[in-house]
Structure 1
């Protein structure tokens, strides 16, 4: 009984959800991918810089 009520409530709530349009979803996905790539490049450059600095200090 409680499980059926739960799934009934979930169904009702899912009908209230405002789903994004295709164009909005596409733009958001591109934004996320671009941000992840840029942060990846940034951290790779910082990592290389710190590694070079540590090598200079240890030599």
Structure 2
């Protein structure tokens, strides 16, 4: 039991030393992540659509 108390105490001490980001930092980096994910989602969707149409055209040309 003493080990658990010591662990919790040490954890609190370490957490007090952490430099936490400000709310503004969190909000701005969250927007960057969301925009990046949306961009790459649309980009990969368009690439997938292009590859799909190319494969369909090849199959149609060779009668498969």
TM-score norm. by structure 1 comes to: 0.90
Segments of 5+ residues of structure 2 without an aligned counterpart are: none
Aligned partners of 1:51, 1:5: CA distance in 2, in Å?
A: 59
**Alpha-carbon deviation of 1:24?**
1.0
Residue 40 of structure 1 corresponds to which residue in structure 2?
41
> Which is higher, the Rg of structure 1 or of structure 2?
2
Corresponding residue for 2:8? 7
Q: List 4+ stretches of structure 1 deviating above 6 A.
A: none
Task: Measure how far apart 1:22 and its partner are.
Answer: 1.3
Rounded Cα–Cα distance in structure 2 between residues aligned with 1:32 and 1:8: 34
For structure 1, the residue ranges without an aligned partner over 5 or more in a row are: none
The TM-score normalised by the length of structure 2 is 0.83
RMSD across aligned C-alpha pairs, in angstroms? 0.9
Aligned-residue offset at 1:31: 0.4
